[in-house]
Amino acid sequence: MAYRSPVSEIRFILDKVVPLAPLSATERFAEATGETVEAILTEAGKLCDEVMAPLIRNGDLTPAKLENGVVRSSPGFKEAYEQIAEGGWVGIASPEEYGGMGLPLTLAIAVNDMMSGANLALQLNPLLTQGQIDALEHHASDELKELYLPKLISGEWSGTMNLTEPQAGSDVGALRSKAEPNGDGTYSVTGQKIFISWGDSDMTKNVCHLVLARLPDGAPGTKGISLFMVPKYIPDENGEPGVANSLKVVSLEHKMGLHGSPTCVMSFEGAKGWMVDGPNKGMAAMFTMMNNARLNVGVEGIGIAEGAYQKALAYAQERVQFKPIIEHADVRRMLAEMKAEVFAARSIALACAVAIDLGHATGDEAWAARAALLTPIAKAYGTDTGMWVSDQGIQVHGGMGFIEETGAAQYFRDVRVTAIYEGTNGIQSMDLVGRKMMDGGKAAFRLLQEVEEDAKAAREALPDLAEQVWEAAETLREHTEWMIGQDMQDRFAGSVPYLKAFARVLGAHYHLRAAFAEGAGSRHAKLAAVYIRRLLPQFAAALAEAREGAAGLYALSVEDLSA
């Protein structure tokens, strides 16, 4: 079965579970009506199903390659990219004054979900450009905006993010790239960056690198980092690609998956750059890009999970072992739980997107705090879901899942990196229990209050499910109060299971909302029962692990671990 974009499922979530209605009620997003959503999702869905999805194996079997210093993309990618650009899909949520559609980020997120399921390697290119647009919109001078934004939004040029260096991965502050002032307002950027996704491309006329580097007097650590726009071709007086800049792709990484996306080692050799925002403000600007990208990477996991689920579902109906394997209880369990996980992760990601949009449209700090709280959860749970569902997808296929021809293994290989890049899921979890709880847990408690109120409202219609969700939220609230009293080392030691527990409770909450909206006995109520009765109970085990703190881990010395 070919991939089919989950248009109606996303529509349902935006109607009934994390409604877009409050957003269309704002002046800024008044155009985001049900009809617009339908039109956008349907059109994007066609592009995903008919143009992007058929190329997914091309990316895997014929990876991007480096030829004479230039990246050649996988067969068909260039043509497909042109359609993405022509359709205006890069700039769905970008400002209209620079050629974007000006729609809510929520719609861009929904489209990115579908595109990731269709062809993650290709989708990563416009995704990075979208992050760059966001960073420039909020931090660049008007001059830079006018030069770059229209080209990036139209998809004529693409954008990359250059943070990682061999010694500076999670510890970005350890970077050594330098930027020397040229005396004319520009800078000479020198350094080596590794793991740069789509660091070059034959799909666009220019590749614009946002590079983190340190000024000569920049303090050590993240405080002394600045951000520079370093284009592959320096724009001429007409804003068209002019002379080549002093930078090159040194090599491409050989990866376990995502072969269609070139991962480049970049060398900047006194390349001409323009500072974005002020000196030493690089991390703030990069955070704008990274926050957008974190949610989008979560959504990459969800898209892959969708694709893997669809493939497994089709196979389970065709494959006969005594009877079609979908009739075996264990296979039915796998499929039901896969579907329930995808729904939960998608709802959390869309809830995060709606919170971001409402924060922008209303200026209400509570929405911004909600978005900040949900971002690490959406990223880590979305990508964990991508890994777990694609793993189960292989299992449903039996031996054929291990054989590359079915394509089940590709989902598993492709999605693995999503739990690593844009901040590993461990780093996301530490962000949740650290920075995101610096408000004393205010945003978390407010959200849990809503979960409990919704559960109370559903008590009469769905007594068993509602009670279970209410109790889980109450337990999580108590645990959160306890955790806030612990020191950081103990919080960090339990942060990954804590995030998982939080995601479980939220997943159950959105399932319950769907069930309540559709009524007992509905398809969504049955799916909610699978999630709440079978998967939600895992939250208690996760919290038990989260409460263990750090001491027991360090009691086991390095020598003990090595014995």
Active-site residue numbers?
A: 422
Residues 271-300 as b/e (b if ≥16 CB within 10 A, e otherwise) read: bbbbbbbeebebbbbbebbbbbbbbbbbbb
For the bound state, the minimum distance from the C-beta of residue 243 to ligand FAD, rounded and expressed in Å, comes to: 25
Taking the C-alpha atoms of residue 227 and residue 133, their distance in angstroms, rounded to an integer, is 14
Residue owning tokens 């699978």: 530
Q: Exactly one of 255, 413, 459, 526 binds ligand FAD (CB under 6 A); which one?
A: 255
Give phi and psi for 262, each to the nearest 5.
-70, 125
Q: What are phi and psi of 121, to 5 degrees?
A: -60, -40
Q: How far is the CB of 64 from ligand FAD (least distance, A)?
A: 12
Nearer to ligand FAD, 54 or 426 (CB): 426
3-state secondary structure (DSSP) of residue 227 = strand
Residue 200 DSSP one-character state = S
Residue 274 makes contact with ligand FAD by CB under 6 A: no
By the rule CB under 6 A, 197 interacts with ligand FAD? yes
Could you tell me how many residues of this chain bind ligand FAD (CB under 6 A)?
Answer: 20
Q: What minimum distance in Å lies between the beta carbon of 167 and ligand FAD?
A: 9
Binding marks (x or -) toward ligand FAD, 37..76, rule CB under 6 A? ----------------------------------------
3-state secondary structure of 421: coil
Residues 136 to 195 in contact with ligand FAD, rule: CB under 6 A: 161-164, 169-170, 195
How many Cβ atoms sit within 10 Å of the Cβ of residue 76?
A: 18
Q: Which residue is nearest to ligand FAD (CB)?
A: 169
243-248, long-range: CB < 8 A, 24+ apart: 245/271, 245/272, 246/270, 246/271, 246/272, 247/209, 247/271, 248/69
Per the structure block, which two tokens stand in for 490?
């103990």
- Can residue 290 be called a binding residue for ligand FAD (CB under 6 A)? no
Q: Does 234 bind ligand FAD (CB under 6 A)?
A: no
**Among the candidate windows 55-63, 327-335, 344-352, 421-429, which touches ligand FAD by CB under 6 A?**
421-429
For residue 460, the one-letter residue type is: E
Binds ligand FAD by CB under 6 A, chosen from 196, 234, 374, 506: 196
- The residue (of 41 and 258) whose beta carbon lies closer to ligand FAD is 258
Q: Is residue 263 a contact point for ligand FAD (CB under 6 A)?
A: yes
268 is a contact residue toward ligand FAD (CB under 6 A): no
**Residue placing its CB nearer to ligand FAD in the complex, 106 or 201:** 201
For ligand FAD, the closer CB: 64 or 349: 64
Q: How far is CA 220 from CA 131, 215, 226, 273, 276, in A?
A: 26, 10, 12, 21, 19
* CA within 13 Å, CB half, 457: 14
Q: With binding defined as CB under 6 A, does residue 426 bind ligand FAD?
A: yes
Q: Which is nearer to ligand FAD, 417 or 532 (CB)?
A: 417
228 sits near ligand FAD (criterion: CB under 6 A)? no
Smallest distance, Å, CB 486 to ligand FAD? 16
The residues near 25 (Cβ < 8 Å, ≥ 6 apart) are none
Q: Which residues in this chain contact ligand FAD in the complex, by CB under 6 A?
A: 161-164, 169-170, 195-197, 255, 258, 263, 417, 420-421, 423-424, 426-427, 430
